[in-house]
Amino acid sequence: MIDPFGRRISYLRVSVTDRCDLRCVYCMAEDMTFLPKAQILSLEELDRLCGAFIGLGVERIRLTGGEPLVRRDVMRLVRSLGERIGPRGLKELTLTTNGTQLTKHAEGLYAAGVRRINVSLDSLDPGRFKALTRWGEIEKTLDGIFAAKAAGLAVKINAVAMKGVNEDEFDRMIAWCGEHGFDLTLIETMPLGEINEDRTDQYLPLSVVRRRLRETWTLEETDYATGGPARYMTIRETGQRLGFITPMTHNFCESCNRVRLTCTGTLYMCLGQEDAADLRAVLRDPAVDEAGLREAIEAAIARKPKGHDFVIDRRQNRPAVGRHMSVTGG
Q: Per the annotation, does 177 bind a ligand?
A: no
Residue type, 72: R
Q: Per the annotation, does 218 bind a ligand?
A: no
Q: Per the annotation, does 120 bind a ligand?
A: yes
Q: Per the annotation, does 178 bind a ligand?
A: no
Alpha-helix residue ranges (DSSP H) falling in the chain: 43-55, 74-82, 102-112, 126-133, 138-150, 170-180, 199-202, 206-213, 279-283, 290-301, 325-328
Q: Which of these, 176, 174, 103, lies nearest to 137 by C-alpha position?
A: 103
**CA–CA separation, 172 and 129 (whole Å):** 14
Spatial contact of 8 and 1, defined as CB atoms under 8 Å apart: yes
Q: Per the annotation, does 248 bind a ligand?
A: no
Separate counts of helices (H) and strands (E) for the chain: 11, 12
Q: Per the annotation, does 263 bind a ligand?
A: no
Spatial contact of 145 and 186, defined as CB atoms under 8 Å apart: no
**CA–CA separation, 191 and 273 (whole Å):** 11
Q: Per the annotation, does 256 bind a ligand?
A: yes
Q: Per the annotation, does 253 bind a ligand?
A: yes
Q: Per the annotation, does 20 bind a ligand?
A: yes
Q: Per the annotation, does 199 bind a ligand?
A: no
**CA–CA separation, 181 and 225 (whole Å):** 18
Q: Per the annotation, does 26 bind a ligand?
A: yes
Residues of the binding site for GTP: 13, 62, 96, 156, 258-260
Which residues sit in the known binding site for S-adenosyl-L-methionine? Answer: 26, 66, 120, 190
Binding residues for [4Fe-4S] cluster: 20, 24, 27, 253, 256, 270
Which positions make up the binding site? 13, 20, 24, 26-27, 62, 66, 96, 120, 156, 190, 253, 256, 258-260, 270
